């Protein structure tokens, strides 16, 4: 039986600090030891707080106990705030089980349901999570595109209603809210048009930290404008996977007889590192780890 890792931090202090000082915490989707190492190397080099996010497929692939143990050790040996976050999880019982073995930051994605059912599912998770000191993110509105096994056609996506957002947060007690303002998961066919007026209205009505999903491929200027209007967590996934996998493909073109992962994963990690650095700077979180020692 796995021990409860009581000292794994939640994301609550991270997001409140970001909200206070006007930046966003980058949440990078990780998949294995190598991708965790890359994110943490860049975070340490740039002194940025980071969230290591895992979708249901990642948890299934790597195993929650392995992931928690790796990140537990990472939290001990790194000099920046680090936490582990369940990203776009839909199975309530899985979320509760992983909370009991140490996860302190979760997203319950019930956005595919009607408002009342979304509220009921999220409130159930919030009530459970708060007993363990865990924080909960939920989503109101639907982002198009694909995230793991969740596929939303453009015609079925819709933006967050500001007045519904107020009611949703009040009824659920959720700690942060992912808002749909025109982004989508995966790669864009054309440059996305973000609804900044909608975001500004939501920010004016709510105090909870706001989250931007689908940031891969969104121009830096647009993301930074969203941060200035109240976004304090930005999710990045697709833009990490592409350079990582492309570097491996290129390595095998040049070394067709290669078989040692300790060799062909090195250029992959290097390529991903450059993107992580770029996204940390995009989020204005560089050097923000320094604020934790004196201001929290």
What are the structural domain ranges in the chain?
Answer: 12-237
CB 50 within 8 A of CB 43: yes
Please report the pLDDT score of residue 148 as a whole number.
57
Please report the pLDDT score of residue 169 as a whole number.
98
Q: Which of 215, 211, 212 has its CA nearest to residue 192?
A: 215
Please report the pLDDT score of residue 145 as a whole number.
46
Please report the pLDDT score of residue 296 as a whole number.
39
Where the chain has pLDDT below 50, the residues are: 1-5, 145-146, 150-153, 155-156, 294-296
Please report the pLDDT score of residue 1 as a whole number.
39
CATH of 12-237, one of 3.40.1000.10, 3.30.450.20, 3.90.1150.10, 3.20.20.70: 3.20.20.70
- Residues in the chain, overall count: 296
Please report the pLDDT score of residue 189 as a whole number.
54
What is the enclosing helix (H) or strand (E) of 203? helix 196-205
Please report the pLDDT score of residue 50 as a whole number.
97
Please report the pLDDT score of residue 214 as a whole number.
85
Residue with structure tokens 């948890």?
59
Model's pTM, two decimal places? 0.89
Please state, in angstroms and rounded to a whole number, the distance separating the CA atoms of residues 34 and 90. 26
Catalytic positions, please?
Answer: 87
89 forms beta bridges with: 108
Please report the pLDDT score of residue 185 as a whole number.
54
Cβ burial, residue 197 (10 Å; 0-12/13-18/19+): exposed
How does pLDDT run across 114-125, given as a tens digit for each residue? Answer: 999 999 999 999
Please state, in angstroms and rounded to a whole number, the distance separating the CA atoms of residues 294 and 285. 16
């Amino acid at each position: 039986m796995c021990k409860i890792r009581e000292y794994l931090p939640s994301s609550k202090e991270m997001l409140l600090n970001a909200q206070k000082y006007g930046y966003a915490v980058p949440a990078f989707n990780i998949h294995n030891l190598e991708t965790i190492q890359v994110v943490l190397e860049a975070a340490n080099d740039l002194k940025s707080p980071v969230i290591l996010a895992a979708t249901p497929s990642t948890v299934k692939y790597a195993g929650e106990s392995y992931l928690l143990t790796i990140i537990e050790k990472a939290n001990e040996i790194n000099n920046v705030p680090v936490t582990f976050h369940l990203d776009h999880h839909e199975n309530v019982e899985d979320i509760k089980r992983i909370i009991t073995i140490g996860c302190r930051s979760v997203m319950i994605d019930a956005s595919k349901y009607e408002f009342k059912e979304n509220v009921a599912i999220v409130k159930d998770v919030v009530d459970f999570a708060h007993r363990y000191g865990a924080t909960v993110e939920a989503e109101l509105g639907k982002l198009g595109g694909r995230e793991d096994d969740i596929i939303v056609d453009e015609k079925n996506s819709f933006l967050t209603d500001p007045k519904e957002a107020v009611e949703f947060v009040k009824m659920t007690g959720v700690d942060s809210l992912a808002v749909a303002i025109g982004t989508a998961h995966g790669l864009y066919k054309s440059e996305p048009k973000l609804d900044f007026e909608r975001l500004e209205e939501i920010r004016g009505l709510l105090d909870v930290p706001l989250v931007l999903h689908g940031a891969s491929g969104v121009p830096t200027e647009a993301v930074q404008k969203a941060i200035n209007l109240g976004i304090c967590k930005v999710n990045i996934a697709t833009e990490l996977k592409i350079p990582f996998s492309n570097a491996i493909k290129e390595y095998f073109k040049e070394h067709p007889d290669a078989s040692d992962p300790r060799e062909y994963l090195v250029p992959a990690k290097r390529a991903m590192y450059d993107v992580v650095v770029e996204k940390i700077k995009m989020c204005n979180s560089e050097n923000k780890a320094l604020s934790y020692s004196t201001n929290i």
